[in-house]
Amino acid sequence: MAWIFLVGAILLEVAGTLALRMAATGPRRWFVAVGLGYVGAFTLLALALAGGIGLGVAYGIWAAVGVALTAVLSRVLFGEPLTWLMGLGIVLVAGGVLLIETGAAG
């Protein structure tokens, strides 16, 4: 169940971040979605931690997947750049999280 909470936390954080982009350039009512997304994300992250996922592992996965999803969805939704160098950065962050996860298991 802890992993389901972590996935939910990631999705809500990405939704909150995308809503932040909308609030910055559009109607201010998007700030409601920003607040709900972030409060929900931190609540689910806390539940994932309470469920037994280590802080370093949970936060690393949360951050890495969040960065990758936000970058890709920003490209799709807002036409923002996503260069090969940015893609390489995403791969390196994901690799770092994999090393943290592997180190935590061993």
pLDDT tens for residues 49-67?
999 999 988 998 898 899 9
Q: How many CB atoms lie under 10 A from the CB of residue 95? A: 11
Per cent of the chain over pLDDT 70 is 99
Report the alpha-carbon distance of residue 7 to residue 5 in Å, rounded: 5
Q: What is the mean pLDDT of residues 15-42?
A: 97
pLDDT tens, position by position, 2-16: 999 999 999 999 999
Q: How many CB atoms lie under 10 A from the CB of residue 90? A: 18
Report the alpha-carbon distance of residue 83 to residue 85 in Å, rounded: 5
Enter the pTM of the model. 0.89
Q: Is the pLDDT of residue 99 over 90?
A: no
Which one-letter amino acid corresponds to residue 32?
A: V
Burial 28-56 (b: 16+ CB within 10 A, else e): eebeebbeebbebbeebbebbbeeebeee
